[in-house]
């Protein structure tokens, strides 16, 4: 069961991602711990407020050709079933996540969604706080990327937008390459609560190929716990991979050059949770159904592939 936390009241009000509570042992600890805390504090301060108005349709429109080049030539992206997404109104798109911090599946899907529905349709994506805190990735906010928090997810759906979430988050995105064809949300069910609370349909988005863009060796979750990254950065992993141009890549904080793996994404029919599971659905039952559905689709997509990377 995923750990639950309560965000400070001020964070909840302004939609900002929860900041860590001041801890008593803040002044003591080893030099390394203090250094890490300083870095953590600075990173937290860099996390921008979730302002949905920062999404800039003109900016997205002007970047679509470049995204199209990357998606079409480098990743040979293929997105199927976009017609399964309701043409209007709020919708929760739930995807499996792959490819380390660069997440090629998000690039390919964002392009496909914006080209299909037009940049005029509001579309937001939740991302890890640290991704948004990176100076080079500030423009992501113009694409509609907001820090992953229940408050921001609610705000986006209440505004009538389509919202893309990856429940597996950093845990799933850094899974070892030999588990590349597994859907692994780490039993996180917050997205189902969100869909029920906002009464919006869930559209599963299944992708394959992202975990072939590098050789992912380990999540490094023990290492992350040892370094207290979970408490300081909300990072449950410290991934270890072999990736260009670094060779051995620990943390993947600076990203990497992804191998040109073919990315295939399939969008499944929308699920109205209450219509399918009754007025008071059992979260475990919905979770198991959704993961099984996505896993079956992922298995089918995997069966289509003949070779890794080439597809």
- Give me the residues that bind other proteins (CB under 8 A), please: 58, 61-66, 68-69, 71-73, 75-79, 82-83, 108, 111-112, 115-116, 118, 120
Residue 46 or residue 61: which is nearer to other proteins going by CB?
A: 61
Encoded tokens for 162 = 């389509």
Closest separation in Å from C-beta 301 to other proteins: 16
β-pairing, 202-208 vs 264-267, is antiparallel
CB nearer other proteins, residue 43 or residue 64: 64
Residue 49 φ then ψ, to 5°: -60, 145
Please say which residue, 62 or 284, places its beta carbon nearer to other proteins.
Answer: 62
Minimum CB distance to other proteins, residue 76 (Å): 7
As given in the structure block, the two tokens for residue 85 are: 């997404």
Q: How far is the CB of 82 from other proteins (least distance, A)?
A: 7
Give whichever of 117 and 246 is closer to other proteins, judged by the CB atom.
117
- Supply the minimum distance, in Å, between the C-beta of residue 263 and other proteins: 8
Q: Which is nearer to other proteins, 116 or 178 (CB)?
A: 116
User: C-beta of 269: minimal distance to other proteins in Å?
Assistant: 17
Least distance in angstroms from the C-beta of 161 to other proteins: 17
Residue closer to other proteins, measured from CB, 73 or 310: 73
**Minimal distance, residue 151 CB to other proteins, in Å:** 31
Closest CB to other proteins among 128 and 262?
A: 262
Strands 264-267 and 78-80, bridge-based pairing: parallel
């Amino acid at each position: 069961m995923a750990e639950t936390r309560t965000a400070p009241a001020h964070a909840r009000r302004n939609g900002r991602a929860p900041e860590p509570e001041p801890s008593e042992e803040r002044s003591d600890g080893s030099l390394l711990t203090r250094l890490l805390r300083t870095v953590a504090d600075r990173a937290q301060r860099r996390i921008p407020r979730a302002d949905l108005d920062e999404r800039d349709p003109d900016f997205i429109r002007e970047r679509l050709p470049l995204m199209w080049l990357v998606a079409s030539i480098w990743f040979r992206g293929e997105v199927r079933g976009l017609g399964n997404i309701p043409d209007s109104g709020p919708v929760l798109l739930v995807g499996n996540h792959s490819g380390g911090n660069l997440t090629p599946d998000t690039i390919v899907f964002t392009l496909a969604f914006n080209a299909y529905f037009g940049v005029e349709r509001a579309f937001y994506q939740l991302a890890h706080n640290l991704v948004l805190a990176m100076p080079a990735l500030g423009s992501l906010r113009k694409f509609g990327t907001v820090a992953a928090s229940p408050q921001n997810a609610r705000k986006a759906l209440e505004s009538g937008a389509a919202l893309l979430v990856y429940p597996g988050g950093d845990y799933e995105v850094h899974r070892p390459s030999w588990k590349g064809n597994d859907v692994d949300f780490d039993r996180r069910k917050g997205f189902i609560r969100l869909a029920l609370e906002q009464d919006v349909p869930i559209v599963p988005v299944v992708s394959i190929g992202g975990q072939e863009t590098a050789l992912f060796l380990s999540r490094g979750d023990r290492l992350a716990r040892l370094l207290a990254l979970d408490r300081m950065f909300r990072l449950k992993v410290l991934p270890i991979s072999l990736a260009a141009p670094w060779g051995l890549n620990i943390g993947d904080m600076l990203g990497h050059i992804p191998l040109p793996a073919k990315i295939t994404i399939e969008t499944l029919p929308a699920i109205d949770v209450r219509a399918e599971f009754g007025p008071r659905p059992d979260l475990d039952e919905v979770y198991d159904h959704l993961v099984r559905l996505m896993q079956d689709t992922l298995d089918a997509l995997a069966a289509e592939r003949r070779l890794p990377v080439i597809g």
